[in-house]
């Protein structure tokens, strides 16, 4: 892939990837979730967003500006409580659900390191049956 030399060209490339590609909806779901929840509760961010970022971007780009992390049983328990409590967090739960689905991650269980392997090498189709 040719790397764009300007931000505008990079944004144009992202726009093209988000427009009527077989993976567009999954890409949107992941990009929507990597920002994190509208909550000061860092436990939610570390149990959701850091796992999504690590699975989506195994080389951890811009690590100095962001948080990445490995999953754990404790983080799975936090996600379970988040979903069972029904806390909306400005619809963040839906973004998490969709991104975990697109990345073939488990919401209520620990993801044991498999997320570090890029999806194309795992042989899994991203979000089967959906964009």
pLDDT tens digits, 28-77: 999 999 988 877 788 999 999 999 999 999 999 999 999 999 999 999 99
Q: The tokens of 62 are what?
A: 């811009």
129 within domain boundaries: no
**The pLDDT of residue 127 is above 80:** no
DSSP string, 27-55: HHHHHHHTT--SSS-HHHHHHTHHHHHHH
The predicted structure's pLDDT at residue 39: 77
d(CA 14, CA 120): 19
Residue 17 lies in a domain: yes
**Structural domain span for residue 24:** 7-122
Q: Is residue 128 part of a domain?
A: no
Domain assignment present for residue 115? The answer is yes
Domain count, the chain: 1
- So what's the pLDDT on residue 92? 86
Considering the entire predicted model, what is its pTM? 0.81
Contact present, 99 and 92 (Cβ < 8 Å): no
Instruction: Find out whether 44 and 89 touch, Cβ atoms under 8 Å.
Output: yes
Compute the CA torsion angle 33, 36, 41, 46 (nearest 10 deg): 80
Is 19 inside any structural domain? yes
Complete DSSP assignment for 61-90: TTGGGS------HHHHHHHHHHHHHT--TT
Q: Is residue 12 part of a domain?
A: yes
Residue 79, both tokens? 């996600």
Residue 127 belongs to a domain: no
Does the residue 18 lie in any domain?
yes
């Amino acid at each position: 892939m040719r790397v764009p030399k300007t931000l505008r060209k990079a944004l144009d490339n992202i726009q093209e990837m988000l427009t009527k590609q077989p993976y567009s909806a999954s890409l949107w779901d992941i990009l929507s979730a990597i920002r994190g929840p509208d909550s000061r509760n860092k436990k939610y961010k570390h149990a959701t967003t850091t796992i999504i970022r690590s699975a989506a971007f195994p080389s951890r780009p811009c690590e100095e500006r962001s948080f990445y992390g490995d999953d754990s049983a404790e983080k799975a328990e936090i996600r379970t409580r988040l979903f069972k409590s029904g806390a909306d967090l400005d619809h963040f739960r839906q973004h998490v659900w969709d991104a975990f689905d697109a990345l073939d991650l488990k919401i209520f269980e620990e993801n044991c390191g498999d997320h570090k392997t890029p999806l194309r090498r795992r042989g899994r189709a991203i979000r089967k049956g959906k964009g």
